[in-house]
Amino acid sequence: MKVGDRVLISPQVTGRTDWTEATIIEVETNPYVGIVITAKADDGEIFFEKEDMFKLLNDEVCMQ
């Protein structure tokens, strides 16, 4: 993941009922927890958490 990528943020991070679409604004390598992503949701709210709480938004959808 890199700055500018579109992602979905886990409801565990946002406290919302569904995954939230956002844009990555910072990627940090934290020596204690690993990669930390900071992302700005489409409504302007900013969230940060470990990388595993984010999913990349892909243009392709697998229908299998």
Token code pair at residue 61:
């959808």
* Digit-coded pLDDT (tens) for 15-58: 999 999 999 999 999 999 999 999 999 999 999 999 999 999 87
Read off the pLDDT band of 64 (50, 70, 90). Answer: low
Token code pair at residue 48:
């940060």
